[in-house]
Copies of this chain bind each other. A is one copy, B any other.
Amino acid sequence: MSGIAMPQPDAGILARLPQIVAALRDVLPEDAVIWDPEETRAYECDALTAYRCPPLAVVLPRTTEEVAAAMRICHEMRVPVVPRGAGTSLAGGALPTADSVIIATLRLREVLEIDTQNRFIRVQTGVTNLSVSAELEPHGFFYAPDPSSQLACTIAGNIAMNSGGAHCLKYGVTTNNLMGATVVLPSGEVVELGGPEMGPTGLDLMGLLCGSEGQLGIVTEATLRILPRPEGARPVLIGFDGAEVAGECVARIIRSGVLPVAIEYMDDVCLRAVEAFAHAGYPDCAAVLIVEVEGSPAEIDHQIARIREIAGALNPVEFRESRNADEAMAIWKGRKSAFGAMGRLGDYICLDGTVPVGQLPYTLKMIGELSRQHGLEVANVFHAGDGNMHPLILFNANKPGDLERAEAFGNDILRLCVDVGGCLTGEHGVGIEKRDLMGKQYDGPDLEIQMAVKDVFDPRWLLNPAKVFPLDASQPWREEAATR
Say yes or no: is A126 at the interface (Cβ < 8 Å to chain B): no
| A203 CA to B455 CA, complexed, in Å | 12
- A472: chain B residues at CB < 8 Å are none
A25 at the interface (CB under 8 A from B): no
Nearest B residue to A179, CB-CB: B356
Contact indicator A446/B299 (Cβ below 8 Å): no
- A233 interfacial by beta-carbon distance below 8 Å: no
A415 within 8 A of B: no
Give chain A interface residues in 43-82, CB to chain B under 8 Å: none
A window 426-440: CB within 8 A of B: 426-427, 430, 434, 438
A221 to chain B, nearest CB (A): 15
Majority SS at the chain A contact face:
loop
A189 interface hit (Cβ, 8 Å): yes
Contacts of A438 in B (CB 8 A): 201-202
Pick the 3 closest A-B CB pairs, nearest first.
A228-B257, A207-B207, A117-B358
How far, in angstroms, from A355 to B196 measured CA to CA in the complex? 8
What is the total number of residues of chain A having a CB less than 8 Å from a CB of chain B?
Answer: 87
Cross-chain contact of A201 among B140, B421, B423 (Cβ < 8 A): B423
**Which stretch (A26-34, A168-176, A265-273, A279-287) binds chain B?**
A168-176
Stretch at the interface among A9-17, A102-110, A248-256, A319-327: A248-256
Q: In the complex this chain forms, how many copies of it are found? A: 2
Checking B203, B212, B302 against A212 with a beta-carbon cut-off of 8 angstroms, the contacting residue is B203
A119 lies within 8 A of B302 (CB): no
Interface residues of A in 296-345 (CB under 8 A from B): 296, 298-299, 301-302
| A233-291 interface with B by 8 A CB criterion | 251, 254-257
Q: Which one of B115, B202, B387, B452 contacts A197 once the chains associate, using CB atoms below 8 Å?
A: B387
* Chain A positions 201 through 214: 1 when the CB is less than 8 Å from some CB of chain B, otherwise 0: 11111011011110
> Is the beta-carbon distance between B254 and A430 smaller than 8 angstroms?
no
- Measured in the bound complex, the distance between the Cα atoms of B414 and A327 in whole Å is 53
Q: Is A222 at the interface (CB under 8 A from chain B)?
A: no
| Known contacts A117-B357, A357-B117, A173 near B199 by CB under 8 Å | yes
Q: Smallest distance from the beta carbon of A459 to chain B beta carbons, Å?
A: 10
